[in-house]
Every structure is written in C-alpha cells, then in structure tokens.
Structure 1
Amino acid sequence: MGLFSKLGQSTDLVEGMADRLGVDFATSIAKDPEAEARKFRRAVMACSHCDNQASCADLQAANSQLDEAPSYCRNHDMLAHRPEA
C-alpha cells in the first residue's frame, strides 16, 4: 500500500472511531486550528503504524457507536480524554 493510501485509510479510521465515540474533531479544530490540527495529525500518524487496522475497520463496520476505543488502539488514551461534541 502506498503512503498516501495508508494515510487516507488511517484518516478514515481515526475519523470513524471519533464519530463512534462522540468526539468532534471539526469543532475542536475550529476553536484552535493550529494545536488541534497537530493533535489530529498525530492521531492519524499513530493509526498509520497500527497492525490492527483491519480489526478496527471491522469493529467500526459492525458498530455505529462505541463506549471506548479498543485497547489495541494507538489513540485510545487520546480519544478517551477528548471532550464530546
């Protein structure tokens, strides 16, 4: 998989997980574009290094809402400490 494909897939997974957890990155980025965009970029980069992307995609496909990110998620702690939308 090419770099841009991998980053695109990781962006989709991060956004999908955030949606299922009630985390609104768009609102956060609008409030503080520079700092929040850096956090989002770090989340995408962390996701891109995950060995469990297929499991994450399957989990998201099967669930429209989650109480927390799975324990294997490299963004678990960050997503747990985000204010809800």
Structure 2
Amino acid sequence: MSYDSKREAHTQLVLGMADRQGLDLQEMVLRAEISEEQFELAVDRCMGCTQPDACKCLLDSAGPALELPEYCRNGDMFGALKPK
C-alpha cells in the first residue's frame, strides 16, 4: 500500500470514528473550530495505530453510535470536541 493510499484509509477511519461520536471534523475545519493541523495530527495518530483493521470492522458493523475502543489514539481529542 502506498503512503498516499494508507493516509487516505486512515483519514477515512478518523472521519468515520468522529462521525460515530457525533462530530463532523470536515465541517469543524471549515468553521475553524479545529485547525487543519489538528485534523492532520489526528490522521497521523491513527496511522501510528496497530489496529486499523479492528477499527474498520467496528465501523462496518456498528450502528450510528459507537463507543470508541480503548486503544483509539484520538479518543482524547474526540472527547474534548464533543458537545457538552
């Protein structure tokens, strides 16, 4: 898998996991609620994960809401961005 295709796969995982937390990260970037750098750092953290296949399976099998797995490297960020 090329670097670009790996990065795209992890971008989709980040967006999918965020969506299941009620977060539209792309919209948040457009509204300057988070920076593009913060989004790219989230993708970088995801790329360092050893369990992307497990996340893909979770996203493919879960309903509209999904509890983040404990190993999610973006859990803190998602938690901080969730509406209170």
TM-score, normalization by structure 2: 0.87
> Would you identify which runs of 4 or more consecutive aligned residues in structure 1 move more than 6 Å?
none
The answer to whether the 8 Å contact 1:69/1:76 transfers is yes
- Normalised by the length of structure 1, the TM-score is 0.86
* Comparing 6-15 and 57-66, the one that deviates more: 57-66
C-alpha displacement at 1:66, in angstroms? 3.0
Give the Å deviation of 1:50.
0.7
Query: Number of aligned pairs?
Result: 83
Write out aligned runs for 1:19-58 (5 A). 19-32=19-32, 35-58=34-57
- For 1:65, give the aligned amino acid: P
Cα RMSD for the two superposed structures: 1.6
- Which AA in structure 2 matches 1:10? H
The farther-off stretch of 1-10 and 59-68 is 59-68
How high is the sequence identity, in percent, across the aligned residues? 34
